Amino acid sequence: MSCVILQIGQCGNQVGQQFWSLVDNSLIRHGYSTDDADNCFTLTNPSNNQRYYRSINIDTENKVINSLFANNNKFLKFNFRPCNVITEKCGRGNNWAMGYYQGRLSHRDDIFERTMQEMRKEVERGETFKGCAIFHSVSGGTGSGVSSRLVELIRDEYAKECLISFAVTPFENGDTPLQDYNSLLALSKIHFHSDAVVLISMISNNKPASATTSTFNDLNKMIAECIAGLTFPINDYENNYLNEIMLEKIAKTFNTDYANKFVSCNSTSQQFKNWGDGVETLLNQLETFNKNENATQENFKLKQLLMIGRGNLQLNKEPLTKSFINKILTNYFQSRRSTMPISLLQSEGSSTSLTMAFQSNISKIYLEKIFKNSLEKFAVGAYVHWYERYEATVEDFHSAFKYIQNLLSYM
C-alpha cells in the first residue's frame, strides 16, 4: 500500500522536511522492515538501487526548496526525485487569488499541469495507490491558493482514493492583513473536496501548545510529529491491520457527514511510565491549546476521538484500552463530557508514542473567528481589489461566505 505526499509552499516544504526525517528514523524503530517501509512512503528505483521519497515538492519561489535541498544530505537519508520538484521564480504575494488563478506566471508550463503530470507518474510507480496527503498552510498565497486548486484537480482525477489535507493555520496576529481572507477562501474549497481536513492549530496566539520555545523549527517538528502519528502505518496483528495506510482510517473515522470533516490533533513521544501518563500529557497539551482559543473545560466538547498508541502495548502492565481511555477522559472533564465514539489503534514497536485526533467545537470557534474577521473587512471593501487584480471576483467571496456559514450551522 502506498500514498503520495504533496508539500506545498514554504510551510508545507519545511514541515515536510521534518516529516521525512521522522520517516527515516522512526519506521524501523516502530517495528517495520525495510520492505514494509518501501512502497509506503518511499520507493526503491531498481535501475540505480536508490531510494526515493514518495513526495512532490511544490513552491512558487525556489529559494526555500533550494535551501532545503542543500541541507538534505545533512538531515535526510534518501532522495527526492528531481522531476518531482516543481518551482517557479514568482511567488504568490500572500494572495489566495494569485495562487488559485495564476497558474502560469513565468515562461514555464502551468504549475498545476506540471504537478498533475508528476502526480500521475508517482502513482504509477507504486504497486498500489491508496491516496495522498497535502501539507500546506492556509494563510499565504501558495499554501492557500495553489493548494485549493490542486485539491480540486486531485479529487477530480482520483475520485475514489483518500485525500487528506494537513492545513496549518496562521498566528492569530500574523504578518499579512489578508490571512483571514486567504484562510476562508482556501478552507471552503479544501473542505468540500477533501475526505478530512486536519487543522494544525497549535500555534495560536503566537505560542505552541506543547513547547517552551516557539522557533519555527520547533513548531515544524511538533507539526510533523502530529502528522507522523496520524499517517505512519499500523502493524496490529490482532485486528489484522498489517502495514495499513492510515489515511483510509482517518477518512473512515471522521468523514461521517458533511460537517464533521475538520479534525484536530496532538501527539507526544515523550518518555512516560504508563499509558495513563501519556493520555494525561495529551490532555494537558489540549488544555493549553483550549486556553489559547478561549475555550474552557465547561464549554469544550469532544465529538469523536481516535487514539493511536505505538510501542509496548502493556506498558508497565497497563494496557491501553477504550474503557481505560474513557475513564481518564471522564475524570479529566469531571463527568461533563457527553458520550462519544472512541476508536483505538495500537501497534507494537520499540519506540513509544501516543497521538490523539479528535473532532470538537474548537474547529467551529476557529471558523467563526475567520468568518467574522473576513466579513468585517469585506463589508467595507477592504483589500478586495487586491484579489480582483488576479482574476478573483466578488462572487468568490460570496461563495466562500455562504459555504462556511452553512457549514457552521451544521457544526
What domains sit in the chain, N to C, each tagged with a CATH number?
Answer: 1-411 (3.40.50.1440)
**Structure confidence at residue 206 as a pLDDT band (50, 70, 90):** very low
Task: List pLDDT tens digits, range 70-87.
Answer: 766 667 777 888 899 998
Is 251 or 5 the better-scoring residue by pLDDT? 5
- What span, in angstroms and rounded, lies between the C-alpha atoms of 161 and 155? 8
End-to-end alpha carbon distance in the chain: 34
CB 58 within 8 A of CB 86: yes
Task: Report the distance separating Cα 347 and Cα 356, nearest Å.
Answer: 14
Best CA proximity match to 130, nearest among 242, 250, 247: 247
Quote the CA–CA distance of 43 and 33 in Å, as a whole number. Answer: 14
> For residue range 42-62, what is the model confidence (pLDDT) as tens digits?
888 888 888 889 999 999 888
Report pLDDT digits (tens) over 222-257. 899 999 989 888 765 555 555 566 888 888 888 777
Listed in sequence order, the residues at least 6 apart from 383 whose beta carbon sits closer than 8 Å to its beta carbon are: 177, 178, 181, 377
d(CA 399, CA 213): 39
| b/e sequence 206-220, b meaning 16+ C-beta within 10 Å | ebbbbbeeeeeeebb
Rounded to 10 degrees, what is the CA torsion of 269, 57, 370, 198? -40
Q: Which tens digit of pLDDT belongs to each residue from 271-287?
A: 788 898 899 888 888 77
CA atoms of 406 and 411, how far apart (whole Å): 9
pTM above 0.85, yes or no: yes
Q: What share of the chain is helix, strand, coil (3-state, %, to 5)?
A: 45, 20, 35
The phi and psi torsions of 278 (rounded to 5 degrees) equal -65, -45
Quote the cell numbers at residue 292. Answer: 489559547
